[in-house]
């Protein structure tokens, strides 16, 4: 089976391909010659995932899925959430986003957070949503140089190292994206 993953994020594409293995051939937007800038204008992760998947399905007529991921911090009332990628501005600068988050948590004892990924799948016009969550805490400083996004400041529950300190196999076996992608994979195996 072939599915287009509606993302321009090469890190996400690599992670999802590694998680799905050879069970599903995951095509990139480049593989279908899509250079569209799909605006993420929804107020929820589900809404943004659906916007992207519907755009690809309606314009290109291919079975596809899209995700949206957010870091939700308790002490910040769930922020940055749907605005995680552009928390410090439209430039999608991971370092600036992390710096702003750490600054906003200065002096706060509650550092509980969760990463959440929502995947929207469209096959033959039928839509399904899958939700993956991993709980953890925000560190006081950046640790590690692997991964991407907020990985250097997020320590998942039950671990002492940040996502950015873990090897990719370990991270991919416990991450929010893994949990949502596993649900997607289980659905595909059981329904097709």
Active site residues: 68
Alpha-carbon gap, residue 59 to 47, rounded angstroms: 18
Tokens representing 175 are: 């991450």
Task: Point out which residues pair with 73 in neighbouring strands.
Answer: 113
Contacts of 3 (CB under 8 A, 6+ apart): 24, 25, 26, 27, 63, 64, 65, 121, 123
Q: Kind and range of the H or E element at 117?
A: strand 112-123
CA torsion 81→82→87→91, rounded to 10°? Answer: 150
Alpha-carbon gap, residue 20 to 46, rounded angstroms: 21
Say if residues 42 and 81 touch (Cβ distance below 8 Å): no
């Amino acid at each position: 089976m072939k599915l287009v993953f509606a993302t321009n994020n090469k890190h996400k594409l690599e992670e999802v391909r590694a998680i799905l293995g050879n069970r599903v051939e995951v095509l990139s937007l480049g593989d279908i010659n899509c250079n569209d800038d799909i605006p993420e204008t929804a107020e929820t992760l589900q809404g943004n995932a659906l916007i992207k998947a519907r755009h690809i399905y309606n314009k290109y007529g291919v079975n596809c899925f899209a995700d949206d991921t957010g870091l939700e911090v308790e002490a910040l009332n769930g922020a940055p959430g749907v605005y995680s990628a552009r928390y410090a501005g439209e430039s999608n600068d991971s370092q600036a986003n992390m710096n702003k988050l750490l600054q906003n948590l200065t002096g706060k004892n509650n550092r509980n957070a969760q990463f959440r990924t929502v995947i929207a799948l469209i096959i033959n016009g039928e839509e399904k949503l899958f939700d993956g969550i991993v709980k953890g805490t925000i560190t006081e400083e950046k640790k590690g140089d692997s991964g991407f996004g907020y990985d250097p400041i997020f320590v998942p529950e039950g671990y002492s190292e940040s996502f950015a300190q873990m090897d990719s196999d370990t991270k991919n076996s416990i991450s929010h994206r893994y949990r949502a992608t596993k649900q997607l994979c289980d659905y595909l195996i059981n329904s097709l």
